[in-house]
Amino acid sequence: MRTLNIDDCSQEYVDWINDSQINRYLETRWSTQDMETVKSYVATMLESPDNLLFGIFLKEDDRHIGNIKVGPINRLHSFCEVSYFIGDRNAWGRGFGSEAVGLITSYVLDELKLNKILAGVYRSNIGSICVLEKNGYRLEACFTNKLRLDSVWVDHLVYSAP
């Protein structure tokens, strides 16, 4: 993982964000994205003192396969949120999401010295729930019928570490 830069914004990345299977649980799904909106988002994250955006890259060929974001960071109360996605379908089911969440969790707790990390997830996003639980996150809250998925209201689960 490394900080995501403007130069990392590729057409492939834009395509991920617009793919209904990949963006099913992403809030970006509500509007069509293009190179300009993606670069603007990355630039905003780079300038933000309260958000960190990392790209997930394969070690063997430095291919960008997804992102993981820390933020917003609440320094007063010493907590943050974490969100992530694997955009490259060829990388799905290979443990990259779990590895990224494990690395970012250690970074936030050990390097940033924050007290708590929160991660929100749609109840039906079983893959993401498994990633969080594999990394020691615990279910802390369930907000019933809070999120819209397709045309149905679904539960919003909030996991936390430590």
- Domain ranges for the chain, please list them: 2-118
Residue 71's alpha-carbon distances to 86, 104, 119, 149, in angstroms, are: 18, 12, 10, 23
CATH class of 2-118: alpha beta
Distance CA 67, CA 55 (A): 4
Q: Which two tokens stand for residue 123?
A: 């109840």
Tell me the average confidence (pLDDT) per consecutive run of 10 residues in the chain, 162 residues long. 97 96 92 96 98 97 97 98 97 97 98 98 97 98 96 97 96
Residues 6 or more apart whose CB falls under 8 angstroms from that of 110 comprise: none
Distance CA 78, CA 114 (A): 5
pLDDT at 73: 98
pTM for this model (two decimals): 0.94
The bridge status of strand 52-57 relative to strand 64-74 is: antiparallel
